């Protein structure tokens, strides 16, 4: 059989011969047992029959017959003496007692023989069952040998290097001094030194300490809070380096500048000291690879926000909010919003809720055109600027027409409500002759309240068309996104929005030419509710990640420049896996094996642990998925080992040229149960999964659950998260299950530990299991196979749903009743991708993790919220199982009524943090492909018990 197939090959495999010998020895033993059983079944009854016949011949029964015949011969007992009759009666009684004793002995012998027969029958059944188990194990071993041979061939044929995070290649000297070049024609190809930024450099960034390298002229004041905030947030950025010799880029912080000593300031034409700028130690003569950072957050309508106007900045990249058209170098300089938010932290409280889709006002605007109060005349300017003044006058005429049309729109017959304010009362403090844009009316808080009641927020391009961006425009965009008002930018074709080279603004804002003002109302009314909420959600994602805090703004600036250079980000941080045992302690092992009822079903080969290939797409992810990274996943700051969204090969590639790692069913020919169990198949290469099991002071329950995992195919390892402060008992015996069991000591008792991105997890697939959940092997394997086709979703067993409580509270309730529609799959028994453990720990708002710790509950709901929020997909439930029962387990927390009350509160609190309810309903359930299907007698179901 297996031996013949191995011998027919060209190589000798000792493991195969060993399996063959075991096979034949098992068959020889079985034949001997069968002969013995046959002997017992046929010979023993013969001897029994002969023995009983002899007993009957020698027993007093013959005397009974003779005595009975004598008695029957007497026809008249009256003539007998009383003494003779009494002796006869006594004799009969003795005979009766003797016969009863004999019958009891015979019945005891019969029972003993029957017990022996039953024992032999049970042994036969056990031997048949053992034969079936041995046959199943033999089949598994054969499959394992085939898989090992395939893995060996792939290892021999593989000619690609081992994949790992990029190894850093750094510079060792500061920039060399070269003559300055024309700064106005700068692009990345001619003004940036790429040799200092190797692909594997990690993009080191050096910040000039503004206290040591000040380039501000006397008489000008700086914003100390802004300077401190930026220094602090840059300090948290992983790309920051303290060694300028290895730096790729150098950042110069330009504070917000205001004249405080007008006498001293008048002696300088510009607040920047150009000599000091060009004398910076790593300027290199032309400022290449330098970034001049101006994140002014006050005086948003002043021309003074354009700090670098008419300044020789060499080949340095400018980063600010205000640019003239002849100053901005597209693809080189960077437009960013001013720093308006806090340094960092949770900012979900700042955002408005996303529903209802349509708010009180259809459109709102608060501002005043600068020319209405300070419009310069031609007598105030020289002849060289007359043309620009006429252009500005034409632009003001168009803006005046826009204002007039909007006023007429509000007074029309429409049922829509508008809040349009074109005059600031009282007048804005910022209004003066330096203004280049619309004034911002009211205070920030008053504007915020109006925007929270507005479906759309109108943003008008600068009245001076020579500007491609102003701080006022970027500030209005910031405020609109924060409040959930969809920006409508009139003149969007003439301006540049923040981070426009990476952010797809058309998914979050409406950009219209000013000439379409008469069509704007019709367009806004034509947008349906689902698109309104999709744009509002996208705007909130952009604001939270890229604009809402100083930390997010600084990280985004660095990530944008790094992305422009094609350098991957640094690898995401993993959580260490400290063992609960000290180095000298050796835990006791147990050889107890708990057999599963479906053990006779072959579910797959038993293989040694095989980690999922990691960091295969270090450089291609941003090329292929750059748009999704910035706009869908909203996470360009880290490099991950794998993603649930990785590309899939076409079906023919895995047979022609790209077959490494693939295990097609029937070698590509397909098949039913037998062929199905021998290979993973699917659209992805072979892989395994890791089980994470969280426990707290339920040692025996844990040990039993671990023991049931013996012989589970495709299992890589088991991680036990020891949440208890007390270590395990020293005499606790840990089962041998064929794969490593890693017992991790938790820093504190928290349910959030379940989703830490432990460095011990080496597979993409993670099966999160409660220590009291009893899952059969075939159910686990079925769930794993389903997850491989839904890698970006939660795939598991116990389903739940969120129900709307309309009668009492107009809020959400958590519901665990059986239902034909569900929206959550609990992570007490569910597969997720490891990528989501990074996001849960580092991306999810801290307020949600704090709520989980407060209630010691709801971590499974939080994970469902996170994945549905990112993917906009519901979970996938497998099989009809709805819950788990654990006989003999201690009382669970979930049996307490407060458990459900807390989960009601969690759902509503999480909805408030996310700004909407991200969970989606589904009526879909995955069952075996041959569930309740007629199949030929010579075929086998994919899963016998599902």
pLDDT value for 373: 43
Question: At 105, is the secondary structure helix, strand, or coil?
Answer: helix
- Give the residue among 429, 425, 435 at the shortest CA–CA distance from 371: 435
Task: Give the whole-angstrom CA distance, residue 763 versus residue 821.
Answer: 31
pLDDT value for 918: 98
Binned at pLDDT 50, 70 and 90, residue 134 comes out as: confident
pLDDT value for 481: 97
Q: Within a 13 Å sphere around the CA of 657, how many CA atoms are in the beta-carbon half?
A: 5
Mean pLDDT score, 342-359: 93
Q: Which residue has the tokens 């047979």?
A: 655
Residue 717: its H or E element: strand 715-722
- Give the residue among 202, 201, 169, 160 at the shortest CA–CA distance from 613: 160
Cα–Cα distances in Å, from 505 out to 250, 510, 538?
Answer: 29, 8, 9
pLDDT value for 622: 92
pLDDT digits (tens, 9 = 90+) for 700-725: 999 999 999 998 999 999 999 999 99
Check: CB of residue 462 under 8 Å from CB of residue 437. Answer: yes
Task: Give the whole-angstrom CA distance, residue 914 versus residue 869.
Answer: 8
φ/ψ of residue 231, rounded to 5: -60, -40
Check: CB of residue 343 under 8 Å from CB of residue 232. Answer: yes
pLDDT value for 14: 40
| Residue 140 structure tokens | 């598994």
Mean pLDDT score, 545-569: 96
pLDDT digits (tens, 9 = 90+) for 910-931: 999 999 999 999 999 998 877 7
Mean pLDDT score, 489-505: 96
pLDDT value for 809: 76
Mean pLDDT score, 3-14: 37
Task: Give the whole-angstrom CA distance, residue 751 versus residue 254.
Answer: 45
Task: Give the whole-angstrom CA distance, residue 348 versus residue 846.
Answer: 10
- Give the residue among 201, 196, 204 at the shortest CA–CA distance from 167: 201
Domains 348-370+399-548 and 589-596+603-648+684-884+892-926 in one fold: no
Question: Over the range 531-558, which residues count as b (16 or more CB within 10 Å of their CB) and which as e?
Answer: ebbbbbbbbbbbbbbbbbbbbbbbbbbb
CATH topology of domain 348-370+399-548: Rossmann fold (3.40.50)
Binned at pLDDT 50, 70 and 90, residue 75 comes out as: very low
pLDDT value for 388: 42
φ/ψ of residue 456, rounded to 5: -125, 150
Binned at pLDDT 50, 70 and 90, residue 301 comes out as: low
Which residues are catalytically annotated?
Answer: 860
Higher pLDDT, residue 836 or 127: 836
pLDDT winner (highest mean) among 303-312, 617-626, 830-839: 830-839
Q: What residue spans define the domains of the chain?
A: 188-335, 348-370+399-548, 589-596+603-648+684-884+892-926
pLDDT digits (tens, 9 = 90+) for 649-677: 999 999 999 998 999 999 999 988 888 98
Cα–Cα distances in Å, from 596 out to 325, 443, 593, 676, 808?
Answer: 74, 69, 9, 20, 47
Question: At 48, is the secondary structure helix, strand, or coil?
Answer: helix
| Residue 282 structure tokens | 């790593």
Task: Give the whole-angstrom CA distance, residue 17 versus residue 7.
Answer: 9
pLDDT at 385 over 50: no
pLDDT value for 25: 54
303-310 LR contacts (CB < 8 Å, sep 24+): 303/434, 303/435, 303/436, 304/257, 304/434, 305/470, 305/471, 307/254, 307/257, 307/271, 307/272, 308/272, 310/270
Task: Give the whole-angstrom CA distance, residue 479 versus residue 450.
Answer: 11
Mean pLDDT score, 57-74: 47
Helices (H) and strands (E) in the chain, counts: 22, 28
Binned at pLDDT 50, 70 and 90, residue 886 comes out as: low
pLDDT at 258 over 80: no
Per-chain mean pLDDT for the chain: 84
pLDDT digits (tens, 9 = 90+) for 282-296: 999 999 999 999 887
pLDDT at 610 over 80: yes
Task: Give the whole-angstrom CA distance, residue 697 versus residue 688.
Answer: 29
Mean pLDDT score, 887-908: 75
pLDDT at 12 over 50: no
pLDDT at 115 over 50: yes
Mean pLDDT score, 49-72: 50
Higher pLDDT, residue 846 or 374: 846
Q: Within a 13 Å sphere around the CA of 267, how many CA atoms are in the beta-carbon half?
A: 8
Mean pLDDT score, 829-837: 98
Which residues, 6+ apart, have CB-to-CB distance to 923 below 8 Å? 820, 821
CATH topology of domain 589-596+603-648+684-884+892-926: Spore Coat Polysaccharide Biosynthesis Protein SpsA; Chain A (3.90.550)
pLDDT at 482 over 90: yes
- Give the residue among 475, 560, 505 at the shortest CA–CA distance from 237: 560
pLDDT at 394 over 60: no
* Residue 893 DSSP symbol: G
Higher pLDDT, residue 10 or 624: 624
pLDDT value for 257: 65
Task: Give the whole-angstrom CA distance, residue 856 versus residue 850.
Answer: 10
- Give the residue among 834, 797, 784, 615 at the shortest CA–CA distance from 684: 784
pLDDT value for 78: 58
Pairing of strands 220-222, 257-259: antiparallel
Task: Give the whole-angstrom CA distance, residue 778 versus residue 431.
Answer: 73
pLDDT value for 464: 86
pLDDT digits (tens, 9 = 90+) for 160-214: 555 566 667 777 778 877 766 666 789 999 999 999 999 999 999 999 998 888 8
pLDDT value for 380: 37
- Give the residue among 767, 755, 765 at the shortest CA–CA distance from 789: 765
931-935 LR contacts (CB < 8 Å, sep 24+): 935/672
């Amino acid at each position: 059989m297996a031996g013949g197939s191995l011998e027919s090959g060209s190589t000798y495999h000792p493991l195969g011969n060993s399996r063959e010998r075991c096979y034949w020895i098992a068959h020889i033993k079985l034949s001997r047992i069968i002969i013995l059983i046959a002997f017992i079944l046929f010979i023993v009854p013969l001897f029994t029959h002969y023995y009983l016949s002899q007993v009957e011949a020698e027993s007093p029964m013959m005397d009974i017959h003779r005595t009975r015949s004598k008695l029957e011969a007497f026809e008249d007992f009256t003539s007998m003496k009383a003494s003779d009759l009494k002796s006869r009666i006594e004799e009969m009684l003795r005979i009766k007692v003797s016969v009863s004793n004999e019958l009891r002995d015979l019945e005891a012998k019969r029972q003993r023989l029957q017990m022996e027969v039953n024992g032999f029958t049970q042994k036969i059944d056990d031997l048949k069952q053992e034969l079936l188990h041995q046959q199943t194990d033999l089949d598994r071993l054969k499959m394992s040998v085939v898989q090992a041979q395939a893995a060996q061939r792939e290892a021999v044929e593989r000619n690609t290097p081992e994949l790992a995070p990029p190894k850093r290649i750094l510079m060792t000297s500061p920039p060399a001094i070269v003559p300055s070049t024309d700064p106005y024609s700068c692009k990345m190809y001619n003004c940036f030194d790429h040799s200092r930024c190797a692909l594997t450099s990690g993009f080191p960034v050096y910040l000039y300490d503004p206290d040591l390298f000040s380039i501000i002229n006397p008489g000008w004041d700086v914003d100390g809070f802004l300077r401190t905030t930026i220094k602090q947030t840059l300090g948290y950025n992983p790309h920051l380096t303290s060694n300028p010799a290895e730096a790729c880029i150098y950042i110069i912080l330009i504070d917000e500048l205001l004249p405080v000593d007008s006498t001293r300031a008048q002696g300088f034409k510009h607040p920047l000291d150009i000599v000091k700028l060009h004398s910076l130690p790593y300027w290199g003569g032309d400022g290449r690879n330098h970034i001049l950072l101006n994140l002014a957050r006050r005086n948003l309508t002043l021309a003074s926000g354009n700090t670098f106007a008419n300044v020789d900045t060499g080949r340095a990249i400018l980063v600010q909010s205000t640019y003239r058209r002849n100053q901005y170098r597209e693809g080189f300089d960077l437009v960013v919003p001013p720093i308006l938010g806090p340094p960092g932290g949770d900012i979900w409280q700042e955002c408005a809720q996303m529903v209802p889709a349509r708010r009180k006002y259809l459109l709102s605007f608060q501002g005043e055109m600068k020319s209405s109060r300070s419009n310069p005349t031609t007598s105030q300017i020289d002849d060289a600027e007359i043309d620009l003044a006429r252009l500005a006058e034409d632009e003001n005429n168009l803006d005046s027409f826009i204002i007039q049309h909007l006023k007429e729109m509000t007074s029309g017959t429409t049922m829509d409500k508008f809040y349009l304010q074109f005059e600031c009362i009282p007048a804005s403090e910022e209004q003066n002759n330096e203004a280049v844009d619309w004034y911002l009316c009211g205070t920030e808080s008053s504007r915020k309240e109006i925007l929270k009641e507005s479906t759309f927020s109108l943003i008008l391009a600068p009245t001076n068309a020579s500007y491609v961006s102003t701080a006022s425009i970027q500030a209005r965009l910031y405020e609109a996104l924060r409040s959930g008002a969809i920006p409508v930018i009139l003149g969007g074709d003439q301006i540049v929005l923040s981070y426009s080279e990476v952010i797809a603004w058309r998914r979050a804002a409406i950009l219209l030419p000013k000439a379409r003002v008469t069509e704007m109302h019709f367009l806004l009314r034509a947008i349906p509710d689902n698109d309104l909420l999709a744009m509002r959600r996208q705007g909130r994602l952009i604001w939270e990640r890229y604009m809402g805090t100083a930390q997010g703004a600084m990280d985004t600036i660095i990530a944008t420049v790094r992305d422009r250079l094609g350098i991957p980000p640094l690898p995401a941080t993993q959580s260490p896996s400290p063992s609960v045992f000290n180095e000298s302690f050796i835990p006791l092992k147990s050889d107890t094996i708990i057999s599963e009822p479906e053990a006779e079903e072959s579910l797959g080969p038993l293989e040694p642990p095989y980690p999922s290939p990691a960091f295969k797409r270090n450089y291609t992810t941003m090329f292929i998925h750059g748009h999704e990274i910035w706009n869908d996943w909203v996470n360009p700051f880290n490099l991950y080992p794998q993603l649930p969204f990785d590309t899939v090969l076409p079906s023919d590639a895995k047979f022609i040229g790209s077959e490494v790692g693939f295990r097609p069913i029937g070698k590509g020919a397909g098949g039913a149960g037998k062929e199905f169990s021998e290979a993973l198949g699917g659209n992805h290469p072979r892989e395994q999964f890791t089980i994470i099991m969280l426990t707290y002071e339920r040692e025996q329950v844990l040990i039993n659950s671990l023991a049931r995992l013996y012989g589970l195919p495709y299992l890589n390892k088991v991680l036990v998260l020891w949440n208890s402060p007390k270590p395990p008992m020293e005499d606790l015996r840990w089962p041998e299950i064929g794969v490593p069991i890693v017992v991790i000591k938790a820093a504190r008792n928290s349910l959030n530990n379940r989703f830490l991105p432990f460095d011990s997890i080496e597979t993409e697939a993670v099966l999160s299991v409660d220590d009291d959940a009893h899952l059969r092997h075939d159910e686990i394997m079925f769930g794993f196979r389903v997850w491989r086709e839904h890698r970006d979703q939660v795939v598991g067993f116990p389903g739940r749903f969120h129900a709307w409580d309309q009668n009492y509270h107009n809020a959400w309730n958590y519901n665990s009743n059986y239902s034909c529609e569900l929206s959550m799959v609990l992570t007490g028994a569910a597969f997720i991708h490891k990528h989501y453990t990074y996001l849960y720990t580092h991306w999810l708002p801290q307020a949600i993790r704090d709520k989980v710790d407060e209630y010691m509950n709801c971590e499974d709901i939080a994970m469902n919220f996170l994945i549905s929020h990112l993917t906009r997909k519901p979970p996938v439930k497998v099989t009809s199982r709805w819950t788990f029962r654990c006989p003999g387990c201690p009382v669970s927390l979930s049996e307490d009524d407060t458990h459900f009350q807390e989960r009601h509160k969690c759902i509503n609190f999480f909805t408030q943090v996310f700004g909407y309810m991200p969970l989606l309903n589904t009526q879909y359930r995955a069952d075996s492909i041959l569930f309740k299907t007629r199949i030929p007698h010579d075929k086998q179901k994919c899963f016998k018990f599902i």
